[in-house]
Structure 1
C-alpha cells in the first residue's frame, strides 16, 4: 500500500483560542479516498450511498409485507347471503321446490382475499353443472332423500366432490359450505346449522 503524506493547514480561528499551524499526518490512499467520499463540505461524515439504498429497500420491503399481510385470507364480516340470480342457473330443475323434496343450501363463504374474491365457483349436482356462485352467494337445491354428489371447481382448480346424504331428519343439516384455503384452493364441506 502506498503511503502518502498529506499536510493540512489548521484554521486560525479555532474556538477557545487554540493555536494554529501546520500539521503533518500519515494517511494511506484508501483512507483519504474514504474520508473524502463519506464527508460533506463541512467535513462531517455522512452515510455511504449503498447504505442509503439498503435502508430504502428495507423500508419498501417492510411496506409490501404489511400490505400483503392485510390481504391474507380471512373471513369477512358476517352479512346475509344473497341468492344467486335466476339468470345464472343453468339447470333450473334442481332449484324448484316440489312435494317430497328436501332443501339443500350450498353457500359460498365470504372472503376478504382479493385473489379469490372475484373468482366464480362452478357448482355441480350429480355430475351436471347447475350454476356458479360468487363471493357471498348461496343457492338452494331441492333434492330427493338419498345420496347425491355435490361438486365445485374454479377455472384454476380441479373438481372437488362431496358425497352428500340428503335426509328429512331434523337432527342433520342439509347445508354445504364452499371455502378457499390459504393456498387459494377451493374446498367443499358439510356444515352444521
Structure 2
C-alpha cells in the first residue's frame, strides 16, 4: 500500500524542486552575442574605385551572411558591380561600395553557381543593404534587405 503524504509536504516538496530547477537554470550557458561582420581586406579588392568614399556617392553595404554549413562555409562569393568583379566575400564578411545615385547592377557567383544579379536603385531615400545567402540546395542568393 503506497504511503500517503500530507498535502503541505507535497506543496513544500514541489516548491523545493522548483527552487532547485530555477537555480540550475541560472547556471546554463548563455548564447554568444552576434559576431560583427569583418570588412573584406584591401588586398582582395580587385577593381579599385568602388570602395573609396567620395562626395556625391552613397554607401551600399553588401554582407555575406554567416553559415555553419560546411559545404558552403568555405566557398568564396564573387561580387560584381555593374558587370565588373570587384571582390570576393568569405563567410561573415562585408564590403561597402560607394556608388553614384541611380540604378546599378549588383551580382554574385561562386565557382559552382551561375551569376545571380539584381537591379539595385541607389538613393538616399532607401536603405542600401544587400545580403548574400545560400539556399537549401547550396546555391548562392542575393537580395536587398531593410536595415
TM-score by length of 2: 0.77
Deviation at 1:176, TM superposition (A): 0.1
Shift of 1:112: 0.4
Could you tell me which residue of structure 2 aligns to residue 181 of structure 1? Answer: 135
After TM superposition, give the deviation of residue 79 of structure 1 in Å.
1.1
Find the counterpart in structure 1 of residue 104 from structure 2: 148
CA distance in 2, matches of 1:117, 1:78: 17
Q: Which has the higher helix share?
A: 1
- State the partner residue of 2:83: 127
Greater C-alpha radius of gyration: 1
Deviation at 1:92, TM superposition (A): 1.8
Secondary structure, aligned partner of 1:182: coil
Give the superposed CA RMSD: 1.2
Looking at structure 2, the residues matched to 116 and 89 of structure 1 have their Cα atoms a distance apart, in angstroms, of 21
SS in 1 for 2:43: helix
SS at match of 1:87: helix
CA deviation string 1:135-178 (max 9, x = no partner): 00000000000000000000000000000000012xx2100000
Question: In the alignment, which residue of structure 1 is the partner of 2:113?
Answer: 157
**Distance between the aligned counterparts of 1:122 and 1:78, measured in 2?**
24
The answer to whether 1:109 aligns with 2:65 is: yes
Q: What stretches of structure 2 of length at least 5 have no aligned partner?
A: 1-32
Rounded Cα–Cα distance in structure 2 between residues aligned with 1:192 and 1:112: 23
TM-score w.r.t. structure 1 length? Answer: 0.59
Q: Which structure 1 residue ranges, 5 or more long, are not aligned?
A: 1-76
**Deviation digits for residues 123-142 of structure 1, max 9, x if unmatched?**
00000000000000000000
Give the superposition deviation at 1:109: 0.1
Instruction: Give, in angstroms, the shift of residue 78 of structure 1.
Output: 2.6
Match among 56, 68, 71 for residue 100 of structure 1 = 56
